[in-house]
Amino acid sequence: MLPHTQLLLLCIPYLLLPFQSHAIITNSLPSIPQSNSNSNYPNVSVSQDSVRQVSVFYNEADKTYSTKFGSFATGAIALGRFDNASNTSGWAKLDVKINHNVNRQTHNPKLPSAGTNTTEDSSDLSSYYAAGLAEGILTCKFVAAVALNNGDIASQNNKQLKNYTLETIAFTRKQAAAAAADDDFWLVISQILAQFDGLVEGYKRSECSANQPLSALDMWFMQMDGDLEDLSNKFVPLNKLKQQQRPQHCSSLIKWSADFSDLYFGHATWDIFSNAAPRIFKTYTLPVKLNGITKLHTTTFSSTGPWLSSVDDFYVVSGHADLGITETSNTVLNPALYEKVQPKSLLCWLRVIAANRLAVNGADWGRLFKINHSGTYTNQWQIVDLNRFTPGDKILTAGVLTVVEEIPGIVHIGDQTKFLQNHGYWPSFNVPYYKDIREANGNFNGSWSSAPRNKLFQLLQSNVVSIETMQEIMRWNKYQTTPKISGGNPCAAIAW
């Protein structure tokens, strides 16, 4: 059970999710935009549908997968439930589970809670493939809509970027195949790849694929949405790079209440309008093996269409550890750093999933995230260890807050619990905190302390005394009322 730690996610302008332990509350939001009426795929509609459930079966004799819709069925190795509540809550909800105790003959399709030890053979990739297949079938309309809305797939038109991607896919698959039997990290990478392959197959089998076909490479490029922000810059002429640099991307705040009773964890996503919808709030319950012990692991996160990661990013995980994870992005200012971005590496979206599943604490999360790091989707990650926070204690336990920053060639991992203890909060606003990261990246001296959003968080954080006041701070965009801080610039507000 998670401690009494309060968490919330705010994606401006289109979503708000507060959390208290495992409870999820969603505010009423505007309707999800429908697909372009001029599209050659007019049936990509994300209008309200009834709840759909699918059971996925595996035939060991001929190595084939089959599905059954409706009530969860005996003998299934993966179960999926999709509730398209987009036009009432702003979110669809997806729940995918691997049946931990299926024996191919008979079983109880209900799963126990995360963190439970299980005898499931997590090296059997068929169940992860089945989990992906369930998602691909259930969410096909959302996948097709995202494929039409954003430009991830079109990135293949850049031949250098496409060749880089093919090489990094080959490296990832080769390394996973070679090391998975003896290394928990590479086993998890193999499981993610199997889940992705199942996702591709599920979409291929779906009602959407005939009119909106998507290849495995198309779907991979969609997974790379965050990584593409840096890879697109790597493969443009230097004289065009200044115009290509990504904008600042997100705000987040960790706030320790003044009476020591609560820890608030909030995030405001800044993104392009084409990624505003359709959104899916996903929960995966999967067996994860660590040091010979397999536990059921639950990840709950905000996401979009086919993404197996969040990209916002915002996660709550439980299993081998109970963690809250979020990030804000750091723009690479020094283009020479892109020389360090090489294809024999693991993309960010893969590393964050693997770290989420295997980490036992914040420092361990950073260690795992650093493995074969790509230097793409360069972010400041905040990892809150929920098991190390005790409501009412006046002294925080070391490791409550770990902050990890990445730029090409460097990953800096640090325990920032003392900062949280001394200041009562940790702000994040698209400027690197660690000196070595700032210097290598080309951020000017004092850029972190003088940043407008740093000053805004310093001004406003003491107002946080409840979920509602935390929401108010994370929604704050009154940039015209603070001329000495925001200067009339909407990008110098907490919410964009």
Q: Please give the mean pLDDT across all residues of the chain.
A: 86
> Residue 313: its pLDDT value, please?
95
Residue 306 · residue 197 · CB < 8 Å: no
**Phi-psi sector, 90: left (phi>0), alpha (psi -120 to 50), beta:** left
**Phi-psi sector, 292: left (phi>0), alpha (psi -120 to 50), beta:** left
CA-nearest of 383, 388, 330 to 358 is 383
Residue 320 · residue 359 · CB < 8 Å: yes
Buried b (16+ CB within 10 A) or exposed e, 286-296: bbbbbeeebbb
> Residue 44: its pLDDT value, please?
39
> Residue 122: its pLDDT value, please?
53
> Residue 303: its pLDDT value, please?
96
Q: How confident is the model at residue 277 (pLDDT cuts 50, 70, 90)?
A: confident
- At 329, give phi and psi (nearest 5°): -85, 150
Residue 432 · residue 441 · CB < 8 Å: yes
DSSP label of 295? E
Which has the higher per-residue pLDDT, 441 or 86?
441
Entry pTM: 0.88
CA-nearest of 272, 251, 329 to 494 is 251
Q: How confident is the model at residue 272 (pLDDT cuts 50, 70, 90)?
A: confident
For the stretch 29-65, pLDDT in tens is: 222 222 333 333 223 344 445 799 999 999 999 999 9
Q: Is the pLDDT of residue 167 over 90?
A: yes
> How much of the chain exceeds pLDDT 70, in percent?
83
For the stretch 349-387, pLDDT in tens is: 999 999 999 999 999 999 999 999 999 999 999 999 999
For residue 59, give the 3-state DSSP assignment.
Answer: strand
For the stretch 198-250, pLDDT in tens is: 999 999 999 999 999 999 999 999 999 999 999 999 998 766 655 455 556 79
Residue 8 · residue 266 · CB < 8 Å: yes
> Residue 401: its pLDDT value, please?
98
> Residue 471: its pLDDT value, please?
93
Residue 307 · residue 225 · CB < 8 Å: yes
Q: Is the pLDDT of residue 476 over 50?
A: yes
Region of poorest pLDDT, from 107-121, 151-165, 269-283, 358-372:
107-121
Q: How confident is the model at residue 273 (pLDDT cuts 50, 70, 90)?
A: confident
> Residue 87: its pLDDT value, please?
86
